[in-house]
Amino acid sequence: MCNKCDDKHHIAGTAPADPARRNVMRQGAGLAIGAAGGSLLAGLGGAAGAAQSSTPRSSMAEETVEAFGFREAGAPARSMQIQRRAVQADDIKLDILYAGICHSDIHYINGDWNVSGVYPLVPGHEIIGRVTAVGANVTRFKVGDVAGVGCMVNSCGTCENCLADREQNCLNGTTFTYASEDRISGGLTDGGYSRKIVVREHFAVNVPQQLDLARAAPIMCAGITTFSPMQHWKLEQGQRVGVVGVGGLGHMAVKLAVARGADVTAFTTTPGKVPQIEAMGATPVLWDDQQAMQNLGNSFDLMISTVPYPFDIQQFMNLLKLDATLVNVGQLGQIDGLNGMMMGFGRKSLAGSMIGGMAETQEVVNYCAEHNVQPDVELIRPDQINEAISRVVDKDVKFRFVIDMQNA
Ligand SMILES: [Zn+2]
Ligand SMILES: [Zn+2]
């Protein structure tokens, strides 16, 4: 246990993680990386231990930082103290300016996905911050720069996926920004609902000046998560793309696809979002409009589903053209209800995709700056986190809450 705070998982120095917690996190990591290919868990523990033996530890003291976290599943957010490691040679340190509230955060906060061992939990993986310190080996940042941190903060760096700029698919286990076994400090990582963060330079991106910083945070998860499939499946100008679910991820998918010149249809269950969808340049369709759904059969080159809970996915598979793909980026649990015959007749594919690599994350941030693609956000103070979470669950946000960390 850390001797500077009462949080049992904030372990000072190199103390090993509680084995029970480690097992829980292996399960959690397995859930997250399951779509990437099954039994990847075996290497996680070993890699996590081995990766740091060569990391020189600084003599600089760790720092106690205020965070807004959750003591147990379903508990309200409250101010708490966490430790940030001393800046290592490859690290940068940020004063966090803005942190988005992603629906994944809420799954963790509520204890969905069997993540019961992750509390106290400090979520947040859409982070914009100002650099206040850099390690000796840092080349891409200097004090005063603005940096973004997304869903991951480390990976092995040596496996074939890491070497191919796919750190999110690390074969030895990606270290996610929160509730993930920390390769450097031990214990579990803490996310962006906090005042400061220390992160390896490789896992931070440069934020161009053209971006409105208050609106940039959601690019770090919602933006890259929807940009990556458009790149991989090569969405082109004039092609027809469907976006299923128009929340934080979905509205970024719409904006990014419109920016590419695609013909975008957005499927929502919320009639109140129709005017905003039209204003973004897409055609809105309500899920329960059976006639509209029927008319759109076999017409899409690509579909991206951002819906974060189980739903009737086959009705959207039916909208794909021959050989087209529906990419699921929102629903990380079991997917039921696919019809093999209908998939076969249309030679249709269902694919998964999870965030994007660091090079691609820099690419989407630059792309948003160049094409003026800016998330729609509602700024809140840290003391409004609980209220914001309720509103996300009620689909009452257009389209992303962002915590203004400098505001009280
Ligand atoms: Zn997210
Ligand atoms: Zn790797």
First and final C-alpha spacing in the chain: 29
Kindly state the average pLDDT of the residues 45-49: 33
Q: What is the pLDDT of residues 197-214, one digit of tens each?
A: 999 999 999 999 999 999
Compute the distance between CA of residue 402 and CA of residue 96 in angstroms, rounded to an integer: 12
Q: Find the ligand nearest to 354 CA.
A: 1
The pLDDT-based confidence of 194 (bands split at 50, 70, 90) is very high
C-alpha 45 – ligand 2 centre gap (Å): 13
- Report which residue type is found at 211: L
Helix ranges (DSSP H) in 236-384: 248-259, 274-279, 290-295, 314-317, 340-345, 358-370
The pLDDT-based confidence of 116 (bands split at 50, 70, 90) is confident
C-alpha 186 – ligand 1 centre gap (Å): 23
C-alpha 180 – ligand 1 centre gap (Å): 14
9 pLDDT above the threshold of 80:
no
pLDDT at 61: 60
pLDDT at 114: 80
Can you list the pairs that 137-145 forms with residues at least 24 positions away whose Cβ atoms lie under 8 Å?
137/89, 137/90, 137/201, 138/89, 138/90, 138/91, 138/92, 138/201, 139/201, 140/201, 140/204, 140/206, 141/92, 141/201, 141/204, 141/206, 145/206
The pLDDT-based confidence of 134 (bands split at 50, 70, 90) is very high
Tell me how far the alpha carbon of residue 140 is from its chain's centroid: 23
283 pLDDT above the threshold of 60:
yes
Helix ranges (DSSP H) in 170-221: 213-216
Q: Looking at per-residue confidence, does 259 or 44 come out higher? A: 259
Q: Looking at per-residue confidence, does 355 or 51 come out higher? A: 355
Q: Find the ligand nearest to 392 CA.
A: 1
C-alpha 150 – ligand 1 centre gap (Å): 8
C-alpha 113 – ligand 2 centre gap (Å): 24
pLDDT at 19: 38
The three-state secondary structure class of 222 is helix
C-alpha 275 – ligand 2 centre gap (Å): 43
C-alpha 136 – ligand 2 centre gap (Å): 24
The pLDDT-based confidence of 316 (bands split at 50, 70, 90) is very high
Kindly state the average pLDDT of the residues 115-126: 93
C-alpha 270 – ligand 2 centre gap (Å): 40
Q: In degrees rounded to 5, what are phi and psi of residue 101? A: -105, 110
C-alpha 126 – ligand 1 centre gap (Å): 7
Let me know: does 393 contact 74? Beta carbons within 8 Å.
Answer: no
Compute the distance between CA of residue 58 and CA of residue 93 in angstroms, rounded to an integer: 14
pLDDT at 60: 44
C-alpha 231 – ligand 2 centre gap (Å): 21
373 pLDDT above the threshold of 90:
yes
- Cβ within 8 Å of residue 142, ≥6 positions away: 131, 134
218 pLDDT above the threshold of 80:
yes
Q: Find the ligand nearest to 168 CA.
A: 2
- Report which residue type is found at 255: K
Q: Which range, of 33-42, 66-75, 230-239, 246-255, averages the lowest pLDDT? A: 33-42
Q: What is the pLDDT of residues 64-82, one digit of tens each?
A: 999 999 999 999 999 999 9
pLDDT at 51: 33
Most confident residue range from 11-15, 47-51, 390-394: 390-394
Q: Find the ligand nearest to 172 CA.
A: 2
C-alpha 151 – ligand 1 centre gap (Å): 7
28 pLDDT above the threshold of 70:
no
Compute the distance between CA of residue 142 and CA of residue 144 in angstroms, rounded to an integer: 6
pLDDT at 121: 97
180 pLDDT above the threshold of 70:
yes
C-alpha 123 – ligand 1 centre gap (Å): 10
Q: What is the pTM of this model?
A: 0.86
Compute the distance between CA of residue 326 and CA of residue 300 in angstroms, rounded to an integer: 9
111 pLDDT above the threshold of 50:
yes
C-alpha 162 – ligand 2 centre gap (Å): 4
C-alpha 37 – ligand 2 centre gap (Å): 14
C-alpha 303 – ligand 1 centre gap (Å): 19
pLDDT at 228: 98
Q: What percent of the chain has pLDDT over 90?
A: 81
249 pLDDT above the threshold of 90:
yes
C-alpha 379 – ligand 1 centre gap (Å): 17
C-alpha 156 – ligand 2 centre gap (Å): 4
Nearest to 127, CA basis, from 105, 146, 100, 106: 100
Q: Find the ligand nearest to 50 CA.
A: 2
Q: DSSP secondary-structure letter at 253?
A: H
C-alpha 105 – ligand 1 centre gap (Å): 7
The pLDDT-based confidence of 18 (bands split at 50, 70, 90) is very low
Q: Find the ligand nearest to 191 CA.
A: 1
Strands 204-206 and 146-149: antiparallel
- Cβ within 8 Å of residue 152, ≥6 positions away: 125, 167, 168, 174, 175, 176, 177, 203, 355
C-alpha 170 – ligand 2 centre gap (Å): 4
- Cβ within 8 Å of residue 396, ≥6 positions away: none
- Mean pLDDT taken over the chain: 87
pLDDT at 332: 87
C-alpha 191 – ligand 1 centre gap (Å): 11
The pLDDT-based confidence of 20 (bands split at 50, 70, 90) is very low
pLDDT at 43: 29
Q: Find the ligand nearest to 166 CA.
A: 2
The pLDDT-based confidence of 27 (bands split at 50, 70, 90) is very low
- Left (φ > 0), alpha (ψ -120 to 50) or beta: where does 165 sit? left
C-alpha 56 – ligand 1 centre gap (Å): 31
